[in-house]
Amino acid sequence: MATVPGEFRFGNFLASIIWIILIVIVLVTLVILPVIFIVLFYLPLPPVNGEILTPYLFLSEVVDPTRTLPIIKFLIHTTPFKVIVFPGFVFAAIIAAATIFVERKFLAKMQLRVGPLYAGVWGVGEGILQLAADGLKVISKEILIPSGADRPIFWAAPIAFVATAAAVTALIPVAPGWVVSNTNVGLIAVFAILGFFPLIALLFSWASNSKYPFIGGLRALHQMIAFEIPFILSALSVVILAGSLNLTEIALAQHHIWFILFLPISAFVFFISSLAELERVPFDLPEAESEIVAGWLTETSGMIYGLIQLGSYLKVYALAALFVILFLGGWSGPLLFPPQLGPPSINTAPTIEKMLTLQGFYNHLTVNATFWFLLKTVVIIMLMILPRGINPRIRIDILLHTGWYKLIVLAFVNMFVALALVYAGVLGPGGSLSVH
């Protein structure tokens, strides 16, 4: 409801418009242009299709469309882009944000209600901006640090939480070439990083210096340690079949037959222990509301809470993607996308049409791989959201009992099946069914 300001005069209105135009001119000339020049003149620019990219060439190419595409293609393949945008943080953050929104709507529909509705009312859809609203509010809230709290750890732990979650996403290959770090020991690196989480939970709860977080932190520690071993054992049987630790090779090994057909039990064990790692509902003990007031998150307020929530949903994406790579064959799937977007035209098509069909830029294999990878990850994420609607929280000793006794045994069972397959020569290195 716009209220008419008291003493409004037309002159003020005009003055404010001129004032704004002035600010824009000043900003552009004094800030933006110098930055561009510095980037162009000081940073060594890479050669693009044969010629050294001089600043002037770059500026002229910005105008000529046929040249912009190769530059973009070049920029995309550099590592900073991979780390920040595609298979790295922003991609995972977008999926994490989508997971939060979908979870609230999905849960609401399961509970016969509507879920966030009015947040994005400008015709954008029925609640799509709810996440933006939560984010903005959480950013703008005051951060309360309890009096006896250990200040440095209190600040470091949430940042470390998000960092480790992002680190896990960095190791996950989304498409054949698209992985941040294609190390040969990819799987072990993932488990090493996942080992950080209980440490961070305990450090943070210890630093917040109050009773309920302390209990929550201990529970987080017990829970994650108890479920680390079946987690690794179930992945071990995949390594036996795939014959290598490198995640890309594991995904490639399942080109014909996904490992879930051979290792259903260890897939189940992997899924259950990833639920426990993520503290999802059946294993929601570290932040059990009705027992220990939001567990180790009790003292988090404002942005610290925001960071931890972002980190935990990044972890949801990371572990879902890990499940997809280990058991559902990563990005293997029927080819759905045409080799070129446009008609099979000759090279001399006008530049605009070439640009529209993303001539030098569109690679149908990558797009197809990413599509299938995303499809499977979304399915797994929905599976991870489902138990929150139908299951209660279990008690800490039942949790530890299932972790130590039941899941480890199950993980072993499937390992024998894997070994039998390898010795029978069906799969594994040199096996009849295996890829190479």
Q: For the segment 254-313, give every residue that binds other proteins (CB under 8 A).
A: 281-282, 284-285, 287-295, 297-302, 305
Torsion of CA 114, 117, 387, 188, to 10 degrees: 170
Closer to other proteins by Cβ: residue 140 or 432: 140
Answer for the pair 82, 170: CB distance below 8 angstroms, yes or no.
Answer: no
The C-alpha R_g of the chain, in whole angstroms, comes to 26
* Bridge partners, 48 (sequence order): 51
CA distance 97 to 430: 43
Site string for other proteins, 69-108 (x = CB under 8 A): -----------------------------------x--xx
Answer for the pair 82, 174: CB distance below 8 angstroms, yes or no.
Answer: no
Closer to other proteins by Cβ: residue 88 or 115: 115
Q: How many residues bind other proteins (CB under 8 A)?
A: 75
Question: What is the distance of C-alpha 183 from the center of its chain?
Answer: 19
CA distance 57 to 343: 31
We find the least distance from the C-beta atom of residue 303 to other proteins, in angstroms, to be 10
Please spell the DSSP secondary structure of 241-278, one letter per residue.
HH--S-HHHHHHHTSSS-HHHH-HHHHHHHHHHHHHHT
According to CB under 8 A, which one of 57, 188, 257, 394 is a site residue for other proteins?
394
* Bridge partners, 51 (sequence order): 48
Q: Does 15 bind other proteins (CB under 8 A)?
A: no
We find the least distance from the C-beta atom of residue 21 to other proteins, in angstroms, to be 12
Using CB under 8 A, which of the segments 49-57, 91-99, 124-132, 410-418 binds other proteins?
124-132
Residue 4 exposed, middle or buried by CB count within 10 Å (0-12, 13-18, 19+)? exposed
We find the least distance from the C-beta atom of residue 104 to other proteins, in angstroms, to be 7
Closer to other proteins by Cβ: residue 174 or 220: 220
Closer to other proteins by Cβ: residue 135 or 342: 135
Q: Does 212 bind other proteins (CB under 8 A)?
A: yes
Using CB under 8 A, which of the segments 34-42, 83-91, 210-218, 347-355 binds other proteins?
210-218
Closer to other proteins by Cβ: residue 134 or 277: 134
Closer to other proteins by Cβ: residue 248 or 402: 402
* Bridge partners, 408 (sequence order): none
**Signed CA dihedral, 162, 166, 168, 174: sign only:** positive
Tell me the backbone φ, ψ of residue 323, rounded to 5 degrees: -60, -40
Question: What is the distance of C-alpha 390 from the center of its chain?
Answer: 25
CA distance 361 to 71: 10
We find the least distance from the C-beta atom of residue 129 to other proteins, in angstroms, to be 7
Closer to other proteins by Cβ: residue 143 or 336: 143
Among 127, 103, 152, which residue's Cα sits nearest to residue 309? 103
Query: Contacts with other proteins in 134-153 (CB under 8 A)?
Result: 134-144
Using CB under 8 A, which of the segments 4-12, 75-83, 162-170, 417-425 binds other proteins?
4-12
We find the least distance from the C-beta atom of residue 404 to other proteins, in angstroms, to be 16
Single-letter amino acid code for the residue at 237: S
Question: What is the distance of C-alpha 419 from the center of its chain?
Answer: 33
CB atoms within 10 A of CB 75: 12
We find the least distance from the C-beta atom of residue 10 to other proteins, in angstroms, to be 6
Site string for other proteins, 101-120 (x = CB under 8 A): ---x--xx-xxxxxxxxxx-
We find the least distance from the C-beta atom of residue 193 to other proteins, in angstroms, to be 27
Site string for other proteins, 16-45 (x = CB under 8 A): xx--x-------------------------
Among 144, 308, 307, 148, which residue's Cα sits nearest to residue 214? 148
> At which residue do the structure tokens 């996904």 appear?
258
Closer to other proteins by Cβ: residue 19 or 42: 19
Q: Does 413 bind other proteins (CB under 8 A)?
A: no
Q: Does 177 bind other proteins (CB under 8 A)?
A: no
Q: Does 389 bind other proteins (CB under 8 A)?
A: yes
